[in-house]
Amino acid sequence: MKTIKDLLIAMINATLILVAICLFFLWRLSATAERVVASFAQNLQIVQPLETKVEDLRSEVANLRSDLAGVSLESSALTAQATERLQTRANALQLELEGINSSLARLADTPETLMQTALDDVATRLSGRIGAVASCYAPETTPGASTPSE
């Protein structure tokens, strides 16, 4: 009966040790998640100035178009072909800015995509570290090799 009691106490101790280890790993994981969330919030703050820069560039393109129209009407030095080329470049720049602006708006509207990417990255790194720890093993001793106790 004493053996069964000792065996049950040992099983309870082992279970408590495993629970403590799991709680430690969960605590570390929550700390990592908090760092990811803080980094994510900081990245969203970076997006805001980019949006304002895109808006400034958009207004600059509009000003460029109006200046081009004014120059082409006032000066005969610019040919219709040169004006058309400049207008085409301004249109291409406008389309590129609209693409950037829509990407930024989509990024700001769906922050869960950034969060999911960050969490996937953390999970990949964590599983790699756990795999590295799990693959650790004691070096095999070769027969006939001297040991420090000899």
DSSP assignments along 18-45, one per residue: HHHHHHHHHHHHHHHHHHHHHHHHHHHH
**Token digits of residue 4:** 């069964």
DSSP assignments along 63-109, one per residue: HHHHHHHHHHHH-SSS-HHHHHHHHHHHHHHHHHHHHHHHHHHHHHH
Q: Would you give per-residue pLDDT tens digits along the chain (150 residues)? A: 899 999 999 999 999 999 999 999 988 888 887 887 777 767 666 667 777 777 777 777 777 777 777 766 666 556 776 677 777 777 877 787 777 777 777 777 776 776 677 677 777 877 777 777 667 666 666 665 555 554
Neighbouring CB atoms inside 10 A of 108's CB total 14
pTM, rounded to two decimals: 0.38
Exposed e or buried b per residue across 85-106, where buried means at least 16 C-beta atoms within 10 angstroms of its C-beta = ebeeebeebbeebeebbeebee
Residue 90 CA to residue 72 CA, distance in Å, equals: 14
pLDDT of amino acid 104: 73
Residue 35 CA to residue 115 CA, distance in Å, equals: 12
